[in-house]
Every structure is written in C-alpha cells, then in structure tokens.
C-alpha cells in the first residue's frame, strides 16, 4: 500500500535541480481542486477534481506518514458532492498545482497550494526522511503530519 511523506518547502529550485541530476523522469503537471470533508483526527476524505476526472480519496495517518486507504473514480461528481456534504459537511476546498517526477520506485511531487504554501510529497512503499536527506540533502525537513486542510 502506498504511503506518503509530506514536507514544507522553502526553496523548491534546489529540489528541481537535484531531481534533474538524479535522473528523475518528469511525469507532468496537474492542477486539481481538493474538497475535504469533516472527518475524525487522522483520517482524510476528499473529492479530487482534475479536469474532467474526479476521484474519492481516503487516507489515514500512520505516524508521520499518510497511507492510502482507498481511491475510487466518481462518475457523478455533483451527486457525490451533495451526498458527502449532507453526511459530513465540507471542511475546506484547496486549489493545488503539482509537478510530478518518478525517481526509482517513488513519486516525487512538488505542490504549490493556493494560500497554504509549497510542499514536497514523496509517495511509495516506504518513504523516509533518510531518502530525502540522501537525494536532496534535507537533513531536518519540516514534516507535515496533518492533512493539508488542517494547515
């Protein structure tokens, strides 16, 4: 099951340079809207809109990482939004711009979240601080241990 490790980024130019020198493969740019719903601490339920595609994503915090508990395509976005809003209530809507790279068996995504900040998300089977240090020289990164809707 995929896990993600999120950190704050002060200067992403250092990271993009390192990605190139490490031979990371650029996978693309995505602009998404994430609608978060009220959930208990440590759980995330959100609709993710990317162009004409919508998914329902569920994540759970495990220590300093988040684990994907489910990701399902949504055929009728309006109906799903209404059902989730009625059941849980909307907590936040965040607009995100991301550039994604493939490095070994990991996805490295550089996120710019409107009115929140810039982040690096390392996704794979075992993302660690040691990998961030080895690849990018990040010795003491500011780890994000909450969902973006809580920042």
Position 133 in a domain: yes
pLDDT at 1 over 80: no
Q: What are the pLDDT digits (tens) for 94-137?
A: 999 999 999 999 999 999 999 999 999 999 999 999 999 999 99
Tokens of 6: 């999120």
Position 151 in a domain: no
Number of domains making up the chain: 1
Position 53 in a domain: yes
Position 79 in a domain: yes
Residue reference for tokens 């490490």: 22
- Predicted confidence band of residue 60 (pLDDT cuts 50, 70, 90): very high
CATH number of the domain enclosing 56: 2.40.320.10
Position 137 in a domain: yes
- Is 34 in contact with 104 (CB distance < 8 Å)? no
- Separation in Å, CA 91 to CA 52, 84, 85, 98, 102: 23, 11, 9, 22, 31
Residue numbers of the domain that contains 69: 3-146
Position 111 in a domain: yes
pTM for this entry = 0.89
Position 115 in a domain: yes
């Amino acid at each position: 099951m995929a896990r993600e490790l999120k950190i704050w980024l002060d200067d992403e130019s250092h990271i993009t340079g390192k990605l190139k020198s490490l031979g990371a493969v650029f996978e693309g740019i995505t602009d998404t809207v994430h609608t978060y719903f009220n959930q208990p601490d440590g759980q995330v339920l959100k609709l993710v809109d990317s162009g004409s595609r919508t998914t329902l994503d569920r994540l759970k915090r495990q220590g300093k990482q988040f684990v994907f508990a489910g990701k399902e395509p949504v055929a009728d976005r309006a109906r799903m939004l209404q059902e989730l809003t009625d059941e849980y209530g909307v907590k936040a809507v965040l607009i995100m711009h991301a550039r994604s790279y493939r490095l070994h068996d990991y996805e490295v995504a550089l996120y710019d979240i409107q009115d929140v900040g810039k982040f690096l998300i390392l996704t794979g089977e075992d993302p660690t601080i040691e990998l961030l240090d080895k690849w990018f020289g990040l010795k003491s990164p500011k780890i994000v241990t909450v969902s973006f809707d809580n920042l």
